[in-house]
Structure 1
Amino acid sequence: MEKWSIKGELILNCSCTVFCPCVVSLGKHPPTEGRCQGWAGVRIDQGQSGETDLSGLNVALLLDIPGNMARGNWAAAAYIDERASDDAYDKLVRIFSGEARGTTGLFSILVSQFLGAERAPVSFEREGGKRRLVVPKRIIGEVEPIGGKEPGKEVVITNTEYWIAPDVVVAKANQGRVRAFGRVWDFDGRSAEICEIDWRGP
Protein backbone atom coordinates (compact mmCIF):
# COMPACT_ATOMS: atom_id res chain seq x y z
CA MET A 1 0.00 0.00 0.00
CA GLU A 2 1.51 3.31 -1.09
CA LYS A 3 2.43 6.15 1.25
CA TRP A 4 0.37 9.32 1.29
CA SER A 5 0.45 12.63 3.14
CA ILE A 6 -1.68 15.77 3.34
CA LYS A 7 -0.84 19.08 5.00
CA GLY A 8 -3.26 21.98 5.02
CA GLU A 9 -6.33 23.24 6.82
CA LEU A 10 -9.70 21.74 7.73
CA ILE A 11 -12.85 23.62 8.65
CA LEU A 12 -15.94 21.94 10.06
CA ASN A 13 -19.45 23.08 10.99
CA CYS A 14 -21.94 20.80 12.71
CA SER A 15 -25.36 20.83 14.31
CA CYS A 16 -24.04 21.20 17.88
CA THR A 17 -25.29 24.40 19.54
CA VAL A 18 -22.08 24.86 21.53
CA PHE A 19 -18.54 23.79 20.74
CA CYS A 20 -18.33 20.17 19.61
CA PRO A 21 -18.04 17.84 22.66
CA CYS A 22 -16.37 15.19 20.47
CA VAL A 23 -13.07 17.09 20.50
CA VAL A 24 -12.42 16.53 24.21
CA SER A 25 -14.51 13.40 24.80
CA LEU A 26 -13.08 11.73 21.67
CA GLY A 27 -16.56 10.78 20.51
CA LYS A 28 -17.75 9.30 23.81
CA HIS A 29 -20.03 12.23 24.70
CA PRO A 30 -23.18 12.58 22.59
CA PRO A 31 -23.58 15.59 20.28
CA THR A 32 -25.63 18.40 21.84
CA GLU A 33 -28.60 17.64 19.56
CA GLY A 34 -28.40 13.86 20.00
CA ARG A 35 -26.96 13.28 16.53
CA CYS A 36 -24.19 14.98 14.58
CA GLN A 37 -24.83 16.40 11.15
CA GLY A 38 -22.18 18.49 9.50
CA TRP A 39 -19.97 19.47 6.62
CA ALA A 40 -16.23 19.93 6.37
CA GLY A 41 -13.78 21.43 3.94
CA VAL A 42 -10.14 20.51 3.43
CA ARG A 43 -7.59 22.75 1.73
CA ILE A 44 -4.55 20.72 0.69
CA ASP A 45 -1.47 22.94 0.72
CA GLN A 46 0.94 20.03 0.30
CA GLY A 47 -0.19 16.55 -0.62
CA GLN A 48 1.20 13.40 -2.15
CA SER A 49 -0.02 9.86 -2.71
CA GLY A 50 2.62 7.64 -4.23
CA GLU A 51 3.83 9.59 -7.27
CA THR A 52 0.64 11.66 -7.52
CA ASP A 53 0.72 15.31 -6.44
CA LEU A 54 -2.39 16.41 -4.50
CA SER A 55 -1.18 19.92 -3.62
CA GLY A 56 -3.53 22.81 -4.25
CA LEU A 57 -6.71 20.73 -4.35
CA ASN A 58 -9.80 21.04 -2.13
CA VAL A 59 -12.20 18.45 -0.76
CA ALA A 60 -15.63 18.88 0.86
CA LEU A 61 -17.29 16.30 3.09
CA LEU A 62 -20.82 15.65 4.31
CA LEU A 63 -21.18 13.74 7.59
CA ASP A 64 -24.36 12.37 9.16
CA ILE A 65 -23.77 10.57 12.46
CA PRO A 66 -26.73 9.06 14.38
CA GLY A 67 -25.33 9.49 17.91
CA ASN A 68 -22.00 9.18 19.70
CA MET A 69 -19.26 9.46 17.10
CA ALA A 70 -17.32 6.51 18.49
CA ARG A 71 -20.26 4.14 17.95
CA GLY A 72 -20.06 4.42 14.17
CA ASN A 73 -22.89 3.89 11.71
CA TRP A 74 -21.95 7.14 9.95
CA ALA A 75 -23.20 8.19 6.52
CA ALA A 76 -20.67 10.23 4.56
CA ALA A 77 -20.05 11.69 1.12
CA ALA A 78 -17.20 13.54 -0.56
CA TYR A 79 -16.91 16.25 -3.19
CA ILE A 80 -13.54 16.17 -4.92
CA ASP A 81 -12.06 19.24 -6.61
CA GLU A 82 -12.92 19.16 -10.30
CA ARG A 83 -9.34 20.29 -11.05
CA ALA A 84 -8.00 16.92 -9.84
CA SER A 85 -6.58 14.59 -12.46
CA ASP A 86 -8.22 11.20 -12.78
CA ASP A 87 -5.36 9.70 -10.77
CA ALA A 88 -5.56 12.38 -8.06
CA TYR A 89 -9.34 11.94 -7.87
CA ASP A 90 -8.98 8.19 -7.32
CA LYS A 91 -6.29 8.70 -4.66
CA LEU A 92 -8.39 11.29 -2.79
CA VAL A 93 -11.44 9.03 -2.79
CA ARG A 94 -9.28 6.25 -1.30
CA ILE A 95 -7.95 8.61 1.38
CA PHE A 96 -11.30 10.12 2.35
CA SER A 97 -13.16 6.81 2.34
CA GLY A 98 -10.54 5.35 4.70
CA GLU A 99 -9.36 2.75 2.21
CA ALA A 100 -5.83 4.22 2.14
CA ARG A 101 -5.59 3.69 5.92
CA GLY A 102 -3.45 5.93 8.10
CA THR A 103 -5.00 9.03 9.71
CA THR A 104 -8.32 8.72 7.86
CA GLY A 105 -8.44 4.93 8.16
CA LEU A 106 -11.10 5.14 10.87
CA PHE A 107 -13.59 6.17 8.16
CA SER A 108 -13.49 2.59 6.89
CA ILE A 109 -14.60 1.44 10.36
CA LEU A 110 -17.06 4.17 11.35
CA VAL A 111 -18.78 4.87 8.01
CA SER A 112 -21.40 2.24 7.28
CA GLN A 113 -22.94 4.12 4.36
CA PHE A 114 -20.61 5.88 1.93
CA LEU A 115 -23.07 7.92 -0.11
CA GLY A 116 -20.54 8.47 -2.86
CA ALA A 117 -17.94 10.84 -4.24
CA GLU A 118 -18.53 13.43 -6.95
CA ARG A 119 -16.37 15.84 -8.89
CA ALA A 120 -17.35 19.44 -8.19
CA PRO A 121 -15.92 22.97 -8.22
CA VAL A 122 -14.89 23.03 -4.54
CA SER A 123 -13.80 26.50 -3.43
CA PHE A 124 -11.95 27.08 -0.14
CA GLU A 125 -11.03 30.71 0.51
CA ARG A 126 -9.66 32.67 3.44
CA GLU A 127 -10.19 36.35 4.16
CA GLY A 128 -8.70 37.46 7.46
CA GLY A 129 -9.93 34.99 10.05
CA LYS A 130 -12.91 33.92 7.94
CA ARG A 131 -12.82 30.71 5.91
CA ARG A 132 -15.41 30.08 3.21
CA LEU A 133 -16.25 26.77 1.52
CA VAL A 134 -18.52 26.59 -1.50
CA VAL A 135 -19.71 23.60 -3.50
CA PRO A 136 -22.29 25.26 -5.78
CA LYS A 137 -25.91 24.28 -5.04
CA ARG A 138 -24.71 21.79 -2.40
CA ILE A 139 -22.70 23.37 0.42
CA ILE A 140 -22.22 27.04 1.31
CA GLY A 141 -20.32 27.60 4.52
CA GLU A 142 -18.38 30.31 6.28
CA VAL A 143 -16.71 29.96 9.66
CA GLU A 144 -14.61 32.28 11.80
CA PRO A 145 -12.90 32.04 15.19
CA ILE A 146 -14.93 33.16 18.22
CA GLY A 147 -13.73 36.15 20.20
CA GLY A 148 -11.46 35.73 23.18
CA LYS A 149 -10.30 37.94 26.06
CA GLU A 150 -7.23 39.10 24.16
CA PRO A 151 -8.29 40.84 20.93
CA GLY A 152 -6.93 39.28 17.77
CA LYS A 153 -5.89 36.07 19.54
CA GLU A 154 -7.77 32.86 18.73
CA VAL A 155 -9.38 30.63 21.36
CA VAL A 156 -7.57 27.30 20.95
CA ILE A 157 -7.99 23.90 22.58
CA THR A 158 -4.49 22.43 22.54
CA ASN A 159 -2.76 19.10 23.05
CA THR A 160 -5.86 16.97 22.46
CA GLU A 161 -5.95 13.40 21.19
CA TYR A 162 -8.55 14.42 18.60
CA TRP A 163 -7.86 12.46 15.42
CA ILE A 164 -8.15 15.48 13.11
CA ALA A 165 -5.49 17.57 14.87
CA PRO A 166 -4.17 18.10 18.42
CA ASP A 167 -4.86 21.87 18.34
CA VAL A 168 -8.36 23.08 17.48
CA VAL A 169 -9.43 26.69 16.97
CA VAL A 170 -12.91 27.26 18.43
CA ALA A 171 -15.10 28.87 15.78
CA LYS A 172 -18.70 29.55 14.82
CA ALA A 173 -20.50 29.32 11.52
CA ASN A 174 -21.66 32.56 9.95
CA GLN A 175 -23.25 30.36 7.32
CA GLY A 176 -23.72 26.61 7.10
CA ARG A 177 -26.13 25.44 4.41
CA VAL A 178 -26.25 21.92 2.97
CA ARG A 179 -28.53 20.72 0.16
CA ALA A 180 -27.16 17.34 -0.81
CA PHE A 181 -27.92 13.61 -0.77
CA GLY A 182 -31.43 14.22 0.54
CA ARG A 183 -30.17 16.38 3.41
CA VAL A 184 -31.40 19.97 3.89
CA TRP A 185 -29.48 21.55 6.77
CA ASP A 186 -29.07 25.11 8.05
CA PHE A 187 -26.42 25.45 10.72
CA ASP A 188 -25.86 29.22 10.76
CA GLY A 189 -24.51 30.26 14.17
CA ARG A 190 -23.73 26.69 15.24
CA SER A 191 -20.47 25.08 16.34
CA ALA A 192 -17.44 25.16 14.07
CA GLU A 193 -13.74 24.43 14.25
CA ILE A 194 -10.57 25.19 12.35
CA CYS A 195 -7.60 22.81 12.35
CA GLU A 196 -4.16 22.74 10.79
CA ILE A 197 -3.86 19.15 9.55
CA ASP A 198 -0.86 16.91 9.00
CA TRP A 199 -2.22 13.54 7.93
CA ARG A 200 -0.43 10.51 6.54
CA GLY A 201 -0.68 6.84 5.85
CA PRO A 202 -0.72 3.93 5.72
Structure 2
Amino acid sequence: MKRFIIGLLDWLFPPLCAGCNHTLVQGETLICTVCLTSFPETDTHQLVDNAITYHFAGKATITYGFALYSLRKKSHLEQVIFAMKYKNQPQIGEILGQRYGNILHQISIIQSIDAIVAIPLHPKRFKERGYNQSDFFAQGLSASLNIPFYRSCIARIRYTPSQTTKNKVERMSNLQGAFQVTDPNLLTGKHLLLVDDILTTGATLSACTNALLAAGVAKVSVATIAVVEA
Protein backbone atom coordinates (compact mmCIF):
# COMPACT_ATOMS: atom_id res chain seq x y z
CA MET A 1 0.00 0.00 0.00
CA LYS A 2 2.82 2.40 0.92
CA ARG A 3 4.56 1.75 -2.42
CA PHE A 4 1.27 2.34 -4.23
CA ILE A 5 0.73 5.67 -2.46
CA ILE A 6 4.29 6.80 -3.23
CA GLY A 7 3.84 5.81 -6.86
CA LEU A 8 0.55 7.69 -7.04
CA LEU A 9 2.09 10.82 -5.54
CA ASP A 10 5.01 10.64 -8.00
CA TRP A 11 2.50 10.36 -10.83
CA LEU A 12 0.41 13.29 -9.61
CA PHE A 13 3.40 15.39 -8.52
CA PRO A 14 6.46 14.08 -10.39
CA PRO A 15 9.79 14.90 -8.71
CA LEU A 16 11.68 17.62 -10.54
CA CYS A 17 15.39 18.29 -10.91
CA ALA A 18 16.55 21.07 -8.59
CA GLY A 19 18.67 22.45 -11.41
CA CYS A 20 16.76 22.37 -14.69
CA ASN A 21 13.28 21.67 -13.27
CA HIS A 22 12.77 18.71 -15.62
CA THR A 23 11.07 15.54 -14.40
CA LEU A 24 13.45 13.07 -12.78
CA VAL A 25 13.51 9.52 -14.09
CA GLN A 26 13.91 6.30 -12.15
CA GLY A 27 17.28 6.15 -10.41
CA GLU A 28 17.70 9.94 -10.20
CA THR A 29 17.45 11.78 -6.89
CA LEU A 30 17.01 15.56 -6.62
CA ILE A 31 19.41 16.26 -9.53
CA CYS A 32 19.08 14.81 -13.02
CA THR A 33 21.95 13.03 -14.72
CA VAL A 34 22.18 15.69 -17.43
CA CYS A 35 22.76 18.43 -14.86
CA LEU A 36 25.20 16.36 -12.80
CA THR A 37 27.35 15.62 -15.82
CA SER A 38 27.23 19.19 -17.15
CA PHE A 39 28.26 21.09 -14.02
CA PRO A 40 31.74 22.59 -14.66
CA GLU A 41 34.23 20.69 -12.49
CA THR A 42 37.53 22.25 -11.42
CA ASP A 43 40.92 20.53 -11.44
CA THR A 44 42.03 22.04 -8.13
CA HIS A 45 42.46 18.62 -6.53
CA GLN A 46 45.17 17.82 -9.06
CA LEU A 47 47.37 20.77 -8.09
CA VAL A 48 48.81 21.45 -4.64
CA ASP A 49 49.50 25.09 -5.54
CA ASN A 50 46.20 26.10 -7.07
CA ALA A 51 43.84 29.07 -7.25
CA ILE A 52 41.85 27.94 -4.20
CA THR A 53 44.92 27.70 -1.98
CA TYR A 54 46.22 31.03 -3.30
CA HIS A 55 42.81 32.58 -2.57
CA PHE A 56 43.60 32.43 1.17
CA ALA A 57 47.05 34.07 0.98
CA GLY A 58 47.31 36.70 3.69
CA LYS A 59 44.05 35.58 5.31
CA ALA A 60 44.72 32.11 6.69
CA THR A 61 47.29 29.34 6.39
CA ILE A 62 45.64 26.69 4.22
CA THR A 63 47.51 23.47 3.41
CA TYR A 64 45.36 22.40 0.44
CA GLY A 65 42.33 23.99 -1.18
CA PHE A 66 39.73 22.19 -3.30
CA ALA A 67 36.43 23.05 -4.97
CA LEU A 68 34.29 20.60 -6.88
CA TYR A 69 32.62 23.04 -9.27
CA SER A 70 33.05 26.49 -10.76
CA LEU A 71 29.89 28.47 -10.04
CA ARG A 72 28.41 30.71 -12.69
CA LYS A 73 25.54 33.09 -12.05
CA LYS A 74 22.07 32.10 -13.31
CA SER A 75 23.26 28.54 -13.97
CA HIS A 76 21.57 25.24 -13.15
CA LEU A 77 24.26 24.70 -10.53
CA GLU A 78 23.29 27.97 -8.84
CA GLN A 79 19.68 26.73 -8.75
CA VAL A 80 20.79 23.45 -7.18
CA ILE A 81 22.77 25.20 -4.45
CA PHE A 82 19.87 27.57 -3.81
CA ALA A 83 17.53 24.61 -3.38
CA MET A 84 20.01 22.96 -1.02
CA LYS A 85 20.31 26.05 1.17
CA TYR A 86 16.88 27.61 1.10
CA LYS A 87 14.30 25.12 -0.21
CA ASN A 88 14.72 22.36 2.37
CA GLN A 89 16.72 20.01 0.16
CA PRO A 90 19.92 19.56 2.20
CA GLN A 91 20.35 15.99 0.89
CA ILE A 92 21.74 17.64 -2.25
CA GLY A 93 24.83 18.39 -0.19
CA GLU A 94 25.27 14.72 0.67
CA ILE A 95 24.90 13.69 -2.98
CA LEU A 96 27.56 16.19 -4.06
CA GLY A 97 29.79 15.24 -1.12
CA GLN A 98 29.74 11.60 -2.18
CA ARG A 99 30.40 12.62 -5.75
CA TYR A 100 33.40 14.75 -4.75
CA GLY A 101 34.68 12.07 -2.40
CA ASN A 102 34.77 9.62 -5.29
CA ILE A 103 37.08 12.05 -7.06
CA LEU A 104 39.25 13.01 -4.09
CA HIS A 105 39.93 9.46 -2.91
CA GLN A 106 42.12 8.98 -5.99
CA ILE A 107 44.69 11.59 -4.91
CA SER A 108 47.46 10.79 -2.44
CA ILE A 109 47.37 14.04 -0.44
CA ILE A 110 43.91 13.20 0.87
CA GLN A 111 45.49 10.37 2.86
CA SER A 112 46.96 12.93 5.29
CA ILE A 113 43.50 14.16 6.34
CA ASP A 114 42.56 12.96 9.84
CA ALA A 115 38.98 14.23 10.02
CA ILE A 116 36.35 16.39 8.33
CA VAL A 117 34.63 19.36 9.99
CA ALA A 118 31.94 21.65 8.57
CA ILE A 119 31.50 25.39 8.91
CA PRO A 120 28.88 25.69 11.66
CA LEU A 121 25.79 27.87 11.63
CA HIS A 122 24.91 30.12 14.53
CA PRO A 123 22.06 28.53 16.58
CA LYS A 124 19.71 31.33 15.51
CA ARG A 125 20.42 30.71 11.83
CA PHE A 126 20.16 26.95 12.34
CA LYS A 127 16.74 27.39 13.94
CA GLU A 128 15.59 29.55 11.03
CA ARG A 129 16.77 27.08 8.38
CA GLY A 130 16.34 23.81 10.27
CA TYR A 131 19.61 22.31 9.06
CA ASN A 132 23.19 23.07 8.10
CA GLN A 133 23.77 22.23 4.44
CA SER A 134 27.53 22.01 5.02
CA ASP A 135 26.95 19.14 7.46
CA PHE A 136 25.34 17.15 4.66
CA PHE A 137 28.25 17.88 2.31
CA ALA A 138 30.62 16.72 5.05
CA GLN A 139 28.59 13.54 5.58
CA GLY A 140 28.83 12.68 1.89
CA LEU A 141 32.57 13.25 1.84
CA SER A 142 33.01 11.24 5.04
CA ALA A 143 31.09 8.27 3.67
CA SER A 144 32.93 8.14 0.35
CA LEU A 145 36.41 8.88 1.73
CA ASN A 146 36.04 6.79 4.89
CA ILE A 147 37.30 9.73 6.96
CA PRO A 148 35.49 10.59 10.21
CA PHE A 149 33.22 13.62 10.32
CA TYR A 150 33.57 15.49 13.62
CA ARG A 151 30.36 17.23 14.63
CA SER A 152 30.01 19.98 17.20
CA CYS A 153 33.74 20.50 17.75
CA ILE A 154 33.57 24.12 16.64
CA ALA A 155 30.73 26.56 17.20
CA ARG A 156 29.62 29.86 15.76
CA ILE A 157 29.31 31.95 18.90
CA ARG A 158 28.49 35.31 17.35
CA TYR A 159 25.52 35.91 15.09
CA THR A 160 26.56 37.72 11.94
CA PRO A 161 24.21 39.30 9.39
CA SER A 162 24.19 38.02 5.83
CA GLN A 163 27.51 38.49 4.06
CA THR A 164 26.11 38.79 0.55
CA THR A 165 26.05 42.61 0.42
CA LYS A 166 29.42 43.16 2.11
CA ASN A 167 32.82 43.67 0.50
CA LYS A 168 35.93 41.64 1.37
CA VAL A 169 37.13 43.91 4.18
CA GLU A 170 33.65 44.12 5.73
CA ARG A 171 33.24 40.35 5.58
CA MET A 172 36.52 39.72 7.38
CA SER A 173 35.72 42.30 10.06
CA ASN A 174 32.20 40.90 10.43
CA LEU A 175 33.58 37.46 11.30
CA GLN A 176 36.24 38.40 13.85
CA GLY A 177 35.72 36.23 16.94
CA ALA A 178 32.73 34.47 15.39
CA PHE A 179 34.05 30.92 15.91
CA GLN A 180 35.14 28.98 18.98
CA VAL A 181 36.61 25.48 19.21
CA THR A 182 34.53 23.53 21.75
CA ASP A 183 36.62 20.36 21.91
CA PRO A 184 40.30 21.29 21.41
CA ASN A 185 41.55 17.97 22.83
CA LEU A 186 39.83 16.12 20.00
CA LEU A 187 41.43 18.30 17.34
CA THR A 188 44.94 19.01 18.65
CA GLY A 189 47.68 17.95 16.26
CA LYS A 190 45.29 16.82 13.52
CA HIS A 191 45.03 17.72 9.85
CA LEU A 192 41.41 18.74 9.26
CA LEU A 193 39.43 19.13 6.07
CA LEU A 194 37.15 22.11 6.66
CA VAL A 195 34.16 22.17 4.31
CA ASP A 196 31.57 24.72 3.24
CA ASP A 197 29.12 25.06 0.38
CA ILE A 198 30.45 28.06 -1.60
CA LEU A 199 33.78 29.89 -1.69
CA THR A 200 33.35 33.58 -2.47
CA THR A 201 35.75 35.91 -0.63
CA GLY A 202 36.92 33.16 1.73
CA ALA A 203 36.18 35.27 4.82
CA THR A 204 34.14 32.61 6.62
CA LEU A 205 36.58 29.79 5.91
CA SER A 206 39.53 32.00 6.88
CA ALA A 207 38.00 33.00 10.21
CA CYS A 208 37.13 29.40 11.04
CA THR A 209 40.58 28.18 9.96
CA ASN A 210 42.31 30.72 12.16
CA ALA A 211 40.20 29.67 15.15
CA LEU A 212 41.09 26.01 14.55
CA LEU A 213 44.82 26.68 14.20
CA ALA A 214 44.82 28.87 17.32
CA ALA A 215 43.26 25.96 19.25
CA GLY A 216 46.08 23.57 18.36
CA VAL A 217 45.01 22.03 15.04
CA ALA A 218 48.16 21.16 13.07
CA LYS A 219 46.88 21.78 9.54
CA VAL A 220 43.68 22.88 7.85
CA SER A 221 42.70 22.17 4.27
CA VAL A 222 39.43 23.35 2.75
CA ALA A 223 36.94 21.88 0.31
CA THR A 224 33.78 23.46 -1.04
CA ILE A 225 31.02 22.42 -3.39
CA ALA A 226 31.73 25.40 -5.61
CA VAL A 227 33.92 28.43 -6.06
CA VAL A 228 32.38 31.56 -7.54
CA GLU A 229 33.86 32.48 -10.89
CA ALA A 230 35.92 35.66 -10.81
- Asked if TM exceeds 0.5, the reply is no
TM-score bracket for the superposition, by shorter chain length: 0.3 to 0.5
Instruction: Choose between structure 1 and 2 for higher RCO, CA contacts under 8 A separated by at least 6 residues.
Output: 1
TM-score by length of 2: 0.33
Max Rg structure? 2
Q: Normalising by the residue count of structure 1, what TM-score does the alignment of the two structures yield?
A: 0.36
Higher strand share goes to which structure?
Answer: 1
